[in-house]
Amino acid sequence: MKKDIILCGVGGQGILSIATVIGEASTEAGLYLKQAEVHGMSQRGGDVQSNLRLSTDPIWSDLIPKGEADLIISMEPMEALRYLPYLSKQGTIVTSSKPFVNIPNYPEESELMAELDSMPSVVKLDIESVAKDAGNARGANMVLLGMAAPYLEILSVEQLRKAISVIFARKGEAVVEANLKAFDCGVAASKG
Amino acid sequence: MEKKLLLGDEAIALGAIHAGLSGVYAYPGTPSTEITEFIQTNPLAQERGIHSHWSTNEKTAMEAALGMSYAGKRALVCMKHVGMNVCADAFINSAITGVNGGLIVLAADDPSMHSSQNEQDSRFYGKFAMIPIFEPSNQQEAYDMMDKAFALSEELKEPVLMRIVTRLAHSRAAVEVKEPRQENAFSPATDNAHWVLLPGNAKRNYNDLIGKQQAMREASEASVFNKAETGSQESSIDGKKLGIIACGIGYNYVREAIGDSMNVLKVSQYPLPATAIKELADKSNELLVVEDGQPVVEEDVKALLGKDYTVKGRLTGNLPRTGELTPDSVGAALGKESSAAYGTAKNLAGRPPQLCQGCGHRDVYGALREIIDEYPDARVFGDIGCYTLGALPPFKALASCVDMGASITMAKGAADAGLRPAIAVIGDSTFTHSGMTGLLDAINENSSITVIISDNLTTGMTGGQDSAGTNKYEAICLGLGMNPDHLHVVTPLPKNIPAIAQLIRDEIAYEGVSVIIPRRECIQTAARHARERKLKS
């Protein structure tokens, strides 16, 4: 079994934390993993993405070929669309529904949403509001990971929860609990 | 064996530490920065006191690493590809002196220019210097190669080049690690004739280097990193028996596309294993060279096999001439059908990187924008750093950005030709890297330029590493001979933009060198420092 995932968003939205949690869970589960990140200039308010490949068998390429991503997990709706050529025909998009507008030529929101909705498998949620309601305004990325969890298949919800505990442990118990709560809200809002 | 999830850069760093490294020397540069950062925080490196302080530029790094090698220790010098240009003098000549302790020069190339101004291929430098080159295909190999490369360096008494690309540097995978080796004993070189490159000595050393070429080729032919694989099926495309030469990470894309079906020669150590290439050529009707970067191997293989043998690659258009390899471009060259189901989305706009909100560079450009609007002939010569983003909207302030330090010297040359006002914008770290010498030229001729050293107290673009000249900029400028009346320090804040603009106006009117230092800490490092203080208290 293998899962090819594109994680994306805008620099500073915390996609690398999502990648780190999935990476920890995969390592713990004994899966093969490759995770190509973007560092450097693109961090500053520009588009960022990470190619994440999980498999029970060895993985060759660090990059996902076009048309082979099982999942696009995006912190921002337009950024989800940026990677459409990489999505497989049966693939799913899990995305925040709230545009992050830091450019003058951001597309018309209703048309953007219509294009997203025209895709066969899309899960959208205002993850920032959910995170705020859960008392963890900075936990939107963990809400998103929770939403994506049921689609990951190669990793269980429990394995991901454990990884969150490990990754955030050095920041203290309160941070771990807040992130788990955000994650659980995401899971509940997803297909469950 | 223990397994660790590591970036390619981190695998190199840990591989070096475990191979008995005594010092890393580097100037930050994407995608190489994380190697040195890893060593700076690694517990074993700290326990052993491995040198890991940042260098002022790649040339000082290369020379210091050579000095550590001279003393008998294993040394690593890391840089992004364009850093090779900065250290080229020391690098090429280190092959003439040879080394004492093992010396690895690591160049991180950036095909596709994710964060660079060109996509030069460092393998040319390895060939130029006539030394072995290692090019790992994955994170495990990157780790394993460090010990082998140090050992080869010590066996041949020559530096070796390790070449990686962005996709390996910044991709994570599990790596099996070994027991660490001890550091080398302190044993400085004694053969002065080898290290003093007077012509008489250099001629002898150069002949020695040429004499070692055969041993380098034999090391490649026998290398565990070079491997001839026989395909599980008849290896052919369009009825022709195809052989594939796959270099570095190109090998992964080949295996991704066609599995183990075709005859492949994996190449991760140079000089090219000529015997293995000829054997593959004999089994095939034609060869495809899959290499990331420029067509270095493609040209060499063509030369090796003669004009009648068909060699395909980037020069023949089978693979794109520019940009990094992808599983898609390699798949297409191997006849694999793309499974792409969707085209580019309709509702999509580019989202270029931007200066952070609240960044001091923004206020500098706020002032400069006023000047540019007032003086239609003004040109602002830019430099390498976050502040290069001042070229983009909303500032659109820069006339040029070429290489580290070129802002000051290009402004000087343009001023020499009569351009007024000629303004240079350079960051603090870039100034100490390569701007100081140009400022000295300008001061010596009292050129009519206005230099803005935008000081954010860090090397910002690569993530906030220490900047070599912090707290020394006024002293450096005065030491170079700056007239103190035309040296100013200001605080770049939105409320100060009018005053900064007025100061620039005043200094533009002065027919001589002016230096304005807007100084305010990078907001990213300021936030990090605030968090660290909070954790401590």
* DSSP reduced 3-state for B247: strand
**Smallest CA–CA distance from B353 into chain A, residue:** A46
- Cα distance from A40 to chain B (closest Cα, Å)? 6
Tell whether B352 is covered by a domain: no
List the 126-155 stretch of A: residues with Cβ below 8 A of B.
Answer: none
Chosen for mutation from A5, A27, A34, A44 (greatest number of chain B CBs closer than 10 Å) is A44
Q: Are residue B324 and residue B247 in the same domain, yes or no?
A: yes
Q: Which of B193, B221, B249 is the endpoint of a domain?
A: B221
List the 446-465 stretch of B: residues with Cβ below 8 A of A.
Answer: 461-463
Report whether pLDDT(B534) > 90: no
Instruction: Test A35 with B172 for CB contact under 8 angstroms.
Output: yes
- For residue A145, give every residue at least 6 positions away whose Cβ sits within 8 Å of its Cβ, in sequence order, or none: A18, A21, A22, A73, A160, A183, A186
Phi, psi of A167 (to 5 degrees): -65, -40
Tell me the per-residue pLDDT of B149-174, one tens digit each, with 9 for 90 and over.
Answer: 999 999 999 999 999 999 999 999 99
Burial class, B361, CB count within 10 angstroms (exposed 0-12 / middle 13-18 / buried 19+): buried
* Residue B457, domain CATH: 3.40.50.970
Report whether pLDDT(B341) > 90: yes
Report whether pLDDT(B232) > 90: no
Q: Are residue B521 and residue B439 in the same domain, yes or no?
A: yes
pLDDT at B240: 74
pLDDT at B537: 78
Amino acid at residue number A83: Y
Q: Are residue B163 and residue B234 in the same domain, yes or no?
A: no
pLDDT at B431: 98
B356 neighbors A10 (Cβ within 8 angstroms):
no
- For chain A, the straight-line distance linking the first and the last C-alpha, in angstroms and rounded, comes to 21
Q: Which of B274, B304, B337 is the endpoint of a domain?
A: B337
The model's confidence at residue B233, banded by pLDDT at 50, 70 and 90, is confident
Q: Are residue B149 and residue B288 in the same domain, yes or no?
A: no
Tell me the per-residue pLDDT of B176-215, one tens digit each, with 9 for 90 and over.
Answer: 999 999 999 999 999 999 999 999 999 999 999 999 999 9
Contacts of B255 in chain A (CB under 8 A): 60-61
List the 154-183 stretch of A: residues with Cβ below 8 A of B.
Answer: none
Report whether pLDDT(B236) > 80: no
The order of strands in the sheet holding A2-10 is A122-125, A87-96, A69-74, A2-10, A47-55, A32-36, B171-177, B2-7
Q: Are residue B428 and residue B384 in the same domain, yes or no?
A: yes
Instruction: Test A46 with B256 for CB contact under 8 angstroms.
Output: no
Q: Which of B341, B346, B355 sits opposite A44 (nearest CB)?
A: B355
The mean pLDDT value for A53-65 works out to 97
Q: Are residue B239 and residue B108 in the same domain, yes or no?
A: no
Q: Are residue B236 and residue B289 in the same domain, yes or no?
A: yes
Tell whether B29 is covered by a domain: yes
Q: Are residue B10 and residue B101 in the same domain, yes or no?
A: yes
- For chain B, the straight-line distance linking the first and the last C-alpha, in angstroms and rounded, comes to 40
The model's confidence at residue A82, banded by pLDDT at 50, 70 and 90, is very high
pLDDT at A40: 58
Report whether pLDDT(A192) > 60: no
Tell whether B350 is covered by a domain: no
Contacts of A10 in chain B (CB under 8 A): 351
* Residue B284, domain CATH: 3.40.50.920
Mind spelling out the 3-state secondary structure of chain A?
A: CEEEEEEEEECCCCHHHHHHHHHHHHHHCCCEEEEECCCHHHHCCCEEEEEEEEECCCCCCCCCCCCCEEEEEECCHHHHHHCHHHEEEEEEEEEECCCCCCCCCCCCHHHHHHHHHCCCCEEEECHHHHHHHCCCHHHHHHHHHHHHHHHHCCCCHHHHHHHHHHHHHHHCHHHHHHHHHHHHHHHHHCCC
**Smallest CA–CA distance from B139 into chain A, residue:** A34
Tell whether B213 is covered by a domain: yes
Instruction: Test A67 with B345 for CB contact under 8 angstroms.
Output: no
The mean pLDDT value for B477-481 works out to 98
**Smallest CA–CA distance from A50 into chain B, residue:** B171
Q: Are residue B520 and residue B371 in the same domain, yes or no?
A: yes
The mean pLDDT value for A72-93 works out to 98
- Cα distance from B357 to chain A (closest Cα, Å)? 9
Instruction: Test A37 with B170 for CB contact under 8 angstroms.
Output: yes
Report whether pLDDT(B263) > 70: yes
Q: Is B354 on the interface with A (CB under 8 A)?
A: yes
- For residue B312, give every residue at least 6 positions away whose Cβ sits within 8 Å of its Cβ, in sequence order, or none: B286, B287, B288, B289, B318, B333
Bridge partners, residue B455, by sequence:
B519
Report whether pLDDT(B418) > 70: yes
Report whether pLDDT(B463) > 70: yes
Instruction: Test A47 with B351 for CB contact under 8 angstroms.
Output: yes
The model's confidence at residue B535, banded by pLDDT at 50, 70 and 90, is confident
Complex confidence, ipTM: 0.94
Report whether pLDDT(B121) > 60: yes
Phi, psi of B338 (to 5 degrees): -75, 140
Q: Are residue B494 and residue B511 in the same domain, yes or no?
A: yes
Contacts of A66 in chain B (CB under 8 A): 328, 338-340
The model's confidence at residue A38, banded by pLDDT at 50, 70 and 90, is confident
Q: In which element (H, E) is residue A115 found? A: helix A109-117
The mean pLDDT value for B77-87 works out to 98
Tell whether B41 is covered by a domain: yes
Report whether pLDDT(A92) > 70: yes
Q: What is the value of pTM for the model shown?
A: 0.96
**Smallest CA–CA distance from A81 into chain B, residue:** B345
pLDDT at A43: 61
Instruction: Test A34 with B173 for CB contact under 8 angstroms.
Output: yes
Separation CA B35–CA B319 (nearest Å): 30
Instruction: Test A79 with B345 for CB contact under 8 angstroms.
Output: no
Amino acid at residue number B289: V
Number of domains in chain B: 3
Q: Is B153 on the interface with A (CB under 8 A)?
A: no
Amino acid at residue number B122: S
Report whether pLDDT(A41) > 60: no
DSSP B179: P
Q: Which structure tokens are listed for B181? A: 């080796």
Identify the residue with better confidence: B537 or B116: B116
Q: Which of A44, A67, A81 sits opposite B354 (nearest CB)?
A: A44
Tell whether B536 is covered by a domain: no
Q: Are residue B214 and residue B231 in the same domain, yes or no?
A: no
Question: Which sign does the torsion angle of CA A77, A81, A87, A89 carry?
Answer: positive
Which alpha helices (H) appear in B212-320, and where do they start and end? Answer: 213-222, 250-258, 274-283, 296-305
Tell whether B382 is covered by a domain: yes
List the 45-84 stretch of B: residues with Cβ below 8 A of A.
Answer: none
Separation CA B510–CA B518 (nearest Å): 19
Separation CA B351–CA A11 (nearest Å): 10
Q: Which of B221, B253, B278 is the endpoint of a domain?
A: B221
Q: What is the mean pLDDT of chain B?
A: 96
CA angle B375, B379, B383 (to 5 degrees): 145
Contacts of B331 in chain A (CB under 8 A): 65
Report whether pLDDT(B359) > 80: yes
Instruction: Test A40 with B338 for CB contact under 8 angstroms.
Output: no
Q: Give the domain range for residue B313.
A: 227-337
* DSSP reduced 3-state for B291: coil
Q: Which structure tokens are listed for B163? A: 């070449």
Contacts of A55 in chain B (CB under 8 A): none
Tell whether B461 is covered by a domain: yes
The order of strands in the sheet holding B449-454 is B379-381, B422-427, B449-454, B514-518, B487-490
Work out the percent of chain B whose per-residue pLDDT is above 70: 99
- Which residue carries 């270095």 as its tokens? B296
Instruction: Test A40 with B462 for CB contact under 8 angstroms.
Output: yes
Q: Are residue B173 and residue B237 in the same domain, yes or no?
A: no
pLDDT at A14: 87
Half-sphere exposure of B412 (CA within 13 A, CB side): 19
Q: Which of B5, B170, B253 sits opposite A38 (nearest CB)?
A: B170
Separation CA B65–CA B135 (nearest Å): 21
pLDDT at B364: 97
Chosen for mutation from B167, B347, B348, B354 (greatest number of chain A CBs closer than 10 Å) is B347
- Cα distance from A32 to chain B (closest Cα, Å)? 8
List the 50-69 stretch of A: residues with Cβ below 8 A of B.
Answer: 51, 59-68
Q: Is A82 on the interface with B (CB under 8 A)?
A: yes
- Cα distance from A46 to chain B (closest Cα, Å)? 4
- Inter-helix orientation angle B213-222/B139-156, to 10°: 150
Interface size A-B, in CB pairs within 8 Å, comes to 154
Rg of chain A, C-alpha, whole Å? 16
The mean pLDDT value for B362-377 works out to 96
pLDDT at A45: 83
**Best CA proximity match to A99, nearest among A91, A109, A87, A90:** A109
Contacts of A175 in chain B (CB under 8 A): none
